Structure 1
Amino acid sequence: MHEETASSAPASASGSRFSFAAIIDLIAVLATLVIVKQTVLPFSYLYAGPASTFSAMALGTYLLRRRGLSWADLGLRWPKSWLKTVGLAVLTFFAFAISMELTETVADMFFENVGASGRFDHVEGNWSAYLIIMVLTWTHASFFEELLFRAFFINRASSFLGGGLRADLIAVVLSAIFFGYRHFYYQGMNGALKTGAAGLVLGLLYLWFGRKNIMPLVLSHGVMNSLGMTMRFLGMRGD
């Protein structure tokens, strides 16, 4: 299935088959994600992740512009058909949810389910905390994660590997592994496996949608996280 809202990003930012500029960009962004998070983590368990994605987004934007690209080339465009986009978002939401549930069944057999390790306990019944976390949900945890871990990671990794279906699939798998790792520090191996599986599904859907419209992924991710945070706010979720 292909969206008709944007053209696909070029297989290589430099126009050559193997783009070493792409791997330099990718390493720089991944290093920023890791270093900023680990630097902020001793001071803020809650904001270490968002601080790293905000920093990586700024760097990623600069690097894309330096290569003559933009986020629009990677799928961040105003859809021609919002009806179709919402339909794809619903499909993505259910694929996202099913992947998490199926992986949880397996992960629970081998690893303790620590939930979110109390990272969001302060949200329960706290309007100000809830509003702040919802802002982060629709920036850091939906737009930024999809742009960085799907659009940027997959496109730059695939460009380095030479483009084509094989390179795309390898890039999706690598992106999913890193996405799972990103959640390990507060969800443990159980959560890392679940988020990694979700990242794999989201990455495959990103390819299936033709890399031309990332909004279905952003919307489904945002709604999924919003539901979870709302349940925490209402005291209906204790992890």
Structure 2
Amino acid sequence: MITATDQTNSKGYLLDLVIYIAIMFLIRETSIPNTHYLVTGFLYSGTTLIAATWLMKRRGVTWKSIGLRRPKDIPKTVLIAGGLFITIIAMLLVFNVIQDFFSIVKESDEAAKGTIKGYTISNGDYAYVFSIIIFVWIQSALEELLERAFLITWLERLFSNLRFKTALAIIIQACIWGFRHSYDFSERSVSVALIGIIMGIAYVKFGRNLWPVIIAHCAMNTMSLI
């Protein structure tokens, strides 16, 4: 039976999500000419991080309580991250084979141009890659904080009266993440969404500690750049 308190709480978390998602997408419409993509990336992530932190503080939630805490077993955490990385690579290979045969979705603009997040892969400028890698890792960690920890937690609370709330939260956050990377239904948005589902499952399954997914995410972006 759904009580009046449950309905009030759900409405509160729905309002939080509307505010958060509106800020997430509206800030990305801000155009800053002649600005490095890492600067704009930190602007986007930093703004949504502030919004998420504010919403969490209003409800007495901390980043530590939803995953940003020291892992109990560091070697095991690294091992899990490695397995997660391999799983994602395998999933992408399978998806690419299926996409090549059936052309389920259109090719993304980034893939057509040979770029990832604004960087031309084919130019071989590895000195440049290593000069920015630490910033790419920080950005990767911020995405895991926001997409996995915050969104999944808030979506679960929104759907708290449903038995399958966690599965629904994982799927929705993955779809938002995929769309945010491409703003269309394309090869890139679908592949990113699939990664988001795997990351979301790993976050929940392995004790809601963010470090395995952060490490795997950093490894993926490092491989993409190199």
Distance 1:86 1:173 in 2: 25
Shift of 1:76: 0.8
Q: Deviations over 1:62-106 (max 9, x none)?
A: 221221111111111011210111111112111221222222223
Aligned partner of 2:107 in structure 1 is 112
Q: Report the Cα distance in structure 2 between the residues aligned to 1:45 and 1:38, rounded to whole angstroms.
A: 16
Would the alpha carbon gap of residues 121 and 207 (structure 1) be closer, same or farther in structure 2, given more than 3 Å must change? same
Partner of 1:191: 188
Cα distance, 1:32 vs structure 2: 1.5
Q: Quick one: structure 1 residues 95 and 51, their matched pair in 2 at CA, closer, same or farther if it must change by over 3 Å?
A: same
- Per the alignment, residue 10 of structure 2 pairs with 19
Q: State the percentage of identical aligned residues.
A: 25
Asked if 1 retains the 8 angstrom alpha-carbon contact of 2:179 and 2:185, the reply is: no
Alignment map for 1:1-239 (pairs within 5 Å): 16=6, 18-40=9-31, 44=35, 46-47=37-38, 48-108=40-100, 109-110=103-104, 111-112=106-107, 114-115=110-111, 117=113, 118=115, 119-121=118-120, 124-125=124-125, 127-128=127-128, 130-132=130-132, 134-140=133-139, 142-162=140-160, 165-185=163-183, 189-211=186-208, 213-229=209-225, 231=226
Indicate if the aligned counterparts of 2:107 and 2:188 stay in contact, CA closer than 8 A.
no
Q: Distance in 1 between matches of 2:185 and 2:193?
A: 12
> Any unmatched runs of 5+ in structure 2?
none
Structure 1 stretches lacking a partner, 5+ long: 1-14, 232-239
Change (3 A) 1:84 1:182: same
Q: RMSD between aligned alpha carbons? A: 2.5
Distance 1:42 1:35 in 2: 17
Task: Quote the Cα distance in structure 2 between the aligned partners of 1:57 and 1:216.
Answer: 20
Counterpart Cα distance in 1 of 2:90 and 2:32: 31
Q: Distance in 2 between matches of 1:198 and 1:151?
A: 15
Distance in 2 (CA, whole Å) between partners of 1:31 and 1:199 is 20
User: Aligned partners of 1:42, 1:182: CA distance in 2, in Å?
Assistant: 20
8 Å contact kept, 1:138–1:222: yes
Residue 19 of structure 1 aligns with an amino acid whose one-letter code is: S
**Higher-helix-fraction structure:** 2
2:175 & 2:223 partners in 1: Cα distance?
25
Aligned length: 212
Deviation at 1:42, TM superposition (A): 6.4
Q: TM (normalized to structure 2)?
A: 0.83
Please list every run of at least 4 consecutive aligned residues from structure 1 whose deviation after the TM superposition is greater than 4 angstroms: 15-18, 41-45
Aligned counterparts of 2:32 and 2:182: Cα–Cα separation in 1: 13
Which structure has more relative contact order (CA 8 Å, sep 6+)? It is 1
TM-score, L = length of structure 1 = 0.79
